[in-house]
Amino acid sequence: MIMLTHGIEESLEVHHSLQHLKAAMDTLSNSLAAADIAHTLHPNTNLRLHEKNGPLVIARGDGIHVYDDRGKEYIEGLAGLWSVGVGFSEKRLADVAYKQMLKLPYYHTFSSKGHEPSIRLAEKLAEMTPEPLTRAFFTSSGSEANDTIVKMVWYMNNALGRPKKKKFLSRIKGYHGITIAAGSLTGLPVNHKDFDLPAIPVHHLTCPHFYRFGTEGESEADFTARLLAELEAVILSEGADTIAALIGEPLIAAGGVLPPPVGYWEGVERICRANDILLVADEVICGFGRLGTPFGCQKYGFTPDIMTLSKQITSSYMPLAAIMLSEPIYQVIADNSEKLGIFGHGFTASGHPVATAVALENLAIMEERDLFGNAARLEGVFQAGLRSFADHPLVGEARGTGLIGAVELVADKPTRRPFAKVGRAGQIASAIGHEEGLIFRAIGDQLALCPPMIITEDEVGELMARMDRTLERLTGAVAAEGLE
């Protein structure tokens, strides 16, 4: 009897301890939420809605999963922001960062200074990227990198005595960052409106998304031909002597995960070469194996003059981006720096030793674990899972390449008519996804997936099961709200 009573007392103590722990966690969660609402301005957020609903506070990550501050587990179906290739809490990256912090926590690369991590990373990137690309310039973000590319191209053309050759070509729905020049290159209205963008000379071409921009009765081949004819017409109208470069993501990602039509990139490269227009591949999302090839340009069969790299270069454990330049472009820039006495551009953190050390280890892990190969091997099962949703009454198109994809929600499948209130169905889907333990990116009414590249076939199956439950629940939720 005494032992039984003692057991009951222990059980009650554990119960009370758990209650106390839960109360403490709730207090912490509420405190964090209140502090966030009071003091943080969130990017890409409806700030008034955020004040009402508060944040989802992520406390930790492990592999393909993250956990909120109440302990709930989620599959991180977007790899953070398209970027945590090796998954969360990879100890080797933490160890490398710690060791580099102790050895040389910071140094710059101005005025001919250097350090081993940035030098070795530049060497590694020149080895990995397509043959014409030999020189690396480091920044901390893709936006900074694309801003720098604009400046470098202008600098080069001024050096060559071509002061009129300054315009850029981009595409509607393309995403290249949010700084002034990069934001101008971006082709998304939400990134332009009331920011006074575009602020540089840029012409946005038709988005190469056949499902949404193809015309009635037009084949995919006809669509490709129309886009290439448009490119040639714009060059003729503007003048090839005024157009410096065309920039594009091999697969448009943040604009809705939009693979290009067959033959598109080969035609774009041919036209650019014929008109002395540089070709810039923005590989910030497509690069480092995401499409099943080392870089997206290789997936679609074109060779750029300049490449932008970021995100998976460090799996976003540290902020880092790189611009890869062809040797002829570098030589013009180098000659002009000698003429002027200096190349007058750079950032405090250009080639940061901790970030570049982490990048080297991250790329080593990707190679050792064959994560590029993993993306290629799992492409079939991942894309088949996505396309299994194509019969859902709310899904207009399921699409993707490699380990990236999206489903597009529509109000009417036969006519492809979008919802009158664009983005609301996506918001509802995102909230349901959270309840089902799945984080994806709602881009308007396009639900994007881009999981960590360490994902296994079984984990792909679980991700798709959670997405399936989300879509099934979404049907009733959309009907209840009366969306049309």
Instruction: Give the CATH number for residue 394.
Output: 3.90.1150.10
Please state the φ and ψ torsions of residue 379, each to the nearest 5 degrees: -55, -45
| Token digits of residue 149 | 């590319």
Statement to judge: residues 45 and 96 lie in one domain: no
The Cα 282–Cα 300 span in angstroms is 13
The Cα 35–Cα 38 span in angstroms is 5
Residue that finishes a domain, picked among 329, 347, 368: 368
pLDDT of residue 25: 62
Assigned domain for 22 exists: no
Q: Among 230, 250, 244, 309, which Cα is nearest to 278's?
A: 244
For residue 124, what is the domain's CATH number?
Answer: 3.40.640.10
Residue that finishes a domain, picked among 309, 343, 368: 368
Statement to judge: residues 241 and 341 lie in one domain: yes
Statement to judge: residues 375 and 364 lie in one domain: no
- Using CA atoms, how far residue 321 sits from 80, 232, 309, in Å, is 17, 32, 5
Assigned domain for 316 exists: yes
Q: Taking each helix axis from N to C terminus, what angle separates 353-368 and 116-128, rounded to the nearest 10 degrees? A: 40
pTM tops 0.85, yes or no: yes
Statement to judge: residues 317 and 263 lie in one domain: yes
Assigned domain for 360 exists: yes
Q: Among 353, 403, 181, 163, which Cα is nearest to 282's?
A: 181
Q: Helix, strand, or coil here: 114?
A: coil
Domain that holds residue 134: 91-368
pLDDT of residue 357: 98
pLDDT of residue 14: 47
Statement to judge: residues 254 and 116 lie in one domain: yes
> What is the arrangement of strands in the sheet containing 167-171, beginning at the earlier edge strand?
133-139, 321-326, 306-309, 278-282, 243-248, 167-171, 202-205
Give the CA count within 13 Å in the CB-facing half-sphere of 242: 10
Q: How far is CA 53 from the centre of its chain?
A: 26
Statement to judge: residues 301 and 188 lie in one domain: yes
Residue 27 DSSP one-character state: H
The Cα 328–Cα 306 span in angstroms is 11
Assigned domain for 298 exists: yes
Residue that finishes a domain, picked among 368, 389, 421: 368
| Token digits of residue 378 | 């799992």
Statement to judge: residues 162 and 96 lie in one domain: yes
Assigned domain for 357 exists: yes
Q: How far is CA 152 from the centre of its chain?
A: 23
CA angle 118, 120, 121 (to 5 degrees): 65
Yes or no: say if 192 and 198 are a contact pair by the CB < 8 Å rule: yes
Yes or no: say if 346 and 321 are a contact pair by the CB < 8 Å rule: no
Statement to judge: residues 463 and 431 lie in one domain: yes
Yes or no: say if 81 and 317 are a contact pair by the CB < 8 Å rule: no
The Cα 142–Cα 282 span in angstroms is 9
Distance between start and end Cα atoms, the chain: 66
Q: How far is CA 233 from the centre of its chain?
A: 31
pLDDT of residue 9: 47
pLDDT of residue 484: 87
Assigned domain for 467 exists: yes
Yes or no: say if 408 and 210 are a contact pair by the CB < 8 Å rule: no
Residues 6+ apart with CB under 8 A from 247: 146, 149, 168, 169, 170, 174, 176, 185, 280, 282
Statement to judge: residues 247 and 208 lie in one domain: yes
pLDDT of residue 29: 74
Statement to judge: residues 96 and 70 lie in one domain: no
Segment holding 437, helix H or strand E: none
Residues 6+ apart with CB under 8 A from 125: 133, 136, 309, 322, 324
Assigned domain for 381 exists: yes
pLDDT of residue 8: 44
Q: How far is CA 127 from the centre of its chain?
A: 23
- Using CA atoms, how far residue 85 sits from 189, 241, 289, 322, in Å, is 29, 41, 9, 17
List, in sequence order, the alpha helices (H) in 388-453: 424-435
The Cα 217–Cα 111 span in angstroms is 59
The Cα 74–Cα 88 span in angstroms is 12
Assigned domain for 388 exists: yes
Q: What is the pLDDT along the chain (484 residues), one digit of tens a residue?
A: 334 444 444 444 545 555 665 666 677 678 999 999 999 999 999 999 999 999 999 999 999 999 999 999 999 999 999 999 999 999 999 999 999 999 999 999 999 999 999 999 999 999 999 999 999 999 999 999 999 999 999 999 999 999 999 999 999 999 999 999 999 999 999 999 999 999 999 999 999 999 999 999 999 999 999 999 999 999 999 999 999 999 999 999 999 999 999 999 999 999 999 999 999 999 999 999 999 999 999 999 999 999 999 999 999 999 999 999 999 999 999 999 999 999 999 999 999 999 999 999 999 999 999 999 999 999 999 999 999 999 999 999 999 999 999 999 999 999 999 999 999 999 999 999 999 999 999 999 999 999 999 999 999 999 999 999 999 999 999 999 999 8
DSSP string, 314-359: TTTSS--EEEEEEHHHHHHHHHHHHHHSS-----TTTT-HHHHHHH
Statement to judge: residues 381 and 415 lie in one domain: yes
Statement to judge: residues 209 and 357 lie in one domain: yes
**Counted domains in the chain:** 2
